[in-house]
Amino acid sequence: MAHVKCLRCRECGNEYPIEPLYVCDFCFGPLEVAYDYDAIAKVISRDRIANGPPTMWRYHDLLPVDAKMALDMGTGFTPLIHAKNLGGKLGLNKLYIKNDSVNPTFSFKDRVVATASAKALEFGFDMLACASTGNLAGSVSAHGAKAGMDTMVFFPSDLERGKILGAGIYGATLVAVEGNYDQVNRLCSELADNHRWAFVNINMRPFYAEGSKTLAYEVAEQLGWRAPDVCVVPGASGSLFTKVWKGLKELTDLGLIDKAETRMHIAQPDGCSPIVRAYNEGTPHVRPVTPDTIAKSLAIGNPADGFYSIKTIEETDGSAVIAPENEIVEGIQLLAETEGIFTETAGGVVISALRKLALSGVIKPDDVTVAYITGNGLKTQEAIEDVIHPVYTSPNYADFMESMAAREKKTQNG
Ligand SMILES: *Cc1c(COP(=O)(O)O)cnc(C)c1O
Ligand SMILES: [Zn+2]
C-alpha cells in the first residue's frame, strides 16, 4: 500500500490518514484518496496490467486497497463492443458500447463496492451498508454475503421489484424507506454518525468512488491504449462521470497513453437533471430538485459530485444532456434492436443523449466515441412492459395463423 499517500480535502487540501473519514473537519469539503504517483510510475506498465487477472483487479496499482484483501467476484474487464449497427443509424463510424451490465450483480456498482468493501474489511467493520437508488443495494448485498459480513441496504420504497429481489436474495436486511433517495441518504448519514457501520457511499465514499476509475482504464486498454475522443456517461451523484475523467488523466500522467483529450458528456433524465440544469444556467452550483423520473437509478436530486461534474465538463469541453422521459424507453429499444444489448433505464438515458449529440453534430462521424451502459434491463422490467406484446395462441396451427393475421391487422391500423 506504499502507493497510497493519504486522504486529501478536495477544497482546502488538508490531509488526513487513510481511515473511514469522508468530510474535512476544517471546511466540510469532501475527501479524496491521494496517491504517490512517482511510486506507481516505477512499477506500472502496460505489460504488468496485461498480465493481471481479467477483472478490475488488473489495475490494483491505481486503487486504494490491498488487492489481497479484496473479494474478487469477477467484476470488470467487461466487453467494449464496436457498435456498427447503432453507429450506422447515428452516423458514427467509431461508436463503442462499454457493456457494464454484465458484472456479477448486473451493474457497474460492483466496481465501487469492490473497493469500498475491501476497505471496510481492512478497517474491521462487521456491517456493510448503503443508501441506494437501486443497483447499489444488490451489489452491497452480494459483496457482504461473499465477505461473511452483515448487510443492511436502504432504498426508496417505490424501487423496481427486480432490484429489491436482486438485493434480498443475498440475505441482506432490506430497508424500504418511504421517501426519495435524498431522504434515504439523510437517514443513512445520521446512522453512519451513530453506528460503526460501513456505508459504502457515505463514510467509505472516498474509497468507493475510486472504483469507478477502472471504467476509464479498461476502455483505454481495450481501445489499444488510447483515450476515447468522446465519452457519454450517465449521471446520478456525478461520481462516475468525474472518475472516468480522473482515470484518463492518471493514465496520461503515468505515460500509459498519449494525452487524453476526451470530451466528457454527462446524461441525465429530464425528471432528475440538476447537473444539466446548472450547466445550462452557467453555474457550477447545483440546485437540488425533487426527482420524478422512470430512471430510478439516476434519481438523485442533490448530487454530491454535481459541482465537480460541471468542472469536468468545462475542463474537457464537454456538455450536459437531458434525455426526455418519453425517449428513455426508446433508447432502451434502440440499443436492444441494433446491438442485442438489453439495458436498464439509465442506459436508455445514455442512448437518448448519444443520439441527440450525434444528430446535432456535436459528435463527429469519426470521433472514437464510448457510450457507458451501466445497468441491466432485466432489473427494470416495469419500464418496458407497455412496449412488449407477445402473440397469444393455442398450440394449434390454424389458431396460430389466425392470431398472426389479427396481429398484422392491428399493426396496420396503428
Ligand atoms: C449509480 C448508477 C449510475 C451513476 O452513479 P453516480 O452516482 O453518478 O456515480 C449510473 N448508472 C447506473 C445504472 C447506476 O446504478
Ligand atoms: Zn477542507
Tens digit of each residue's pLDDT (9 = 90 or more) over 280-299? 999 999 999 999 999 999 99
Q: H helices of 195-286, where?
A: 205-210, 214-222, 239-253, 274-280
What mean pLDDT value characterizes the chain? 96
Q: What is the pLDDT of residues 137-192, one digit of tens each?
A: 999 999 999 999 999 999 999 999 999 999 999 999 999 999 999 999 999 999 99
Grid cell of 394 as nine digits: 393455442
Instruction: Please determine, for residue 374, whether its predicted confidence score (pLDDT) is greater than 90.
Output: yes
Percent of the chain predicted with pLDDT > 90: 96
Residue 235 Cβ inside 6 Å of ligand 1? The answer reads yes
Instruction: Please determine, for residue 58, whether its predicted confidence score (pLDDT) is greater than 80.
Output: yes
User: Which pLDDT band holds residue 411 (cuts at 50, 70, 90)?
Assistant: confident
Distances in whole angstroms, Cα of residue 283 to Cα of each of 270, 272, 274, 275, 326 = 18, 17, 11, 10, 27
Task: Check: pTM over 0.95? Answer yes or no.
Answer: yes
- Nearest 5°: the CA angle 410, 413, 414 is 90
Of all helices (H) and strands (E), which one includes residue 234?
A: strand 230-234
User: Which pLDDT band holds residue 224 (cuts at 50, 70, 90)?
Assistant: very high
CB 100 within 8 A of CB 215: yes
User: Which pLDDT band holds residue 414 (cuts at 50, 70, 90)?
Assistant: low
SS3 215: helix
Tell me the three-class secondary structure of 268-323, residue by residue.
EECCCCHHHHHHHCCCCCCCCCCCCCCCHHHCCCCCCCHHHHHHHHHHHCCEEEEE
Residue 184 Cβ inside 6 Å of ligand 1? The answer reads no
- Name the residues around ion ligand 2, CB cutoff 5 A: 9, 11-12, 14, 24, 26-27, 29
Q: What is the pLDDT of residues 379-390, one digit of tens each?
A: 999 999 999 999
What CATH class has 80-106+210-387?
A: alpha beta
Q: H helices of 303-386, where?
A: 306-316, 325-339, 345-359
User: Which pLDDT band holds residue 399 (cuts at 50, 70, 90)?
Assistant: very high
Instruction: Please determine, for residue 413, whether its predicted confidence score (pLDDT) is greater than 80.
Output: no
What contacts 295, CB < 8 A, 6 or more positions away? 269, 271, 272, 323, 328, 345, 346, 348, 349
Instruction: Please determine, for residue 412, whether its predicted confidence score (pLDDT) is greater than 90.
Output: no
Residue 376 Cβ inside 6 Å of ligand 1? The answer reads no
Average pLDDT over residues 248-256: 98
Nearest atom in ligand 1 to 238's CA: 8
CB 272 within 8 A of CB 291: yes
Residue type, 108: F
Instruction: Please determine, for residue 1, whether its predicted confidence score (pLDDT) is greater than 90.
Output: no
Instruction: Please determine, for residue 410, whether its predicted confidence score (pLDDT) is greater than 90.
Output: no
The alpha carbon of 34 and the centre of ligand 2 are apart by a number of angstroms equal to 14
Residue type, 338: T
Nearest atom in ligand 1 to 237's CA: 7
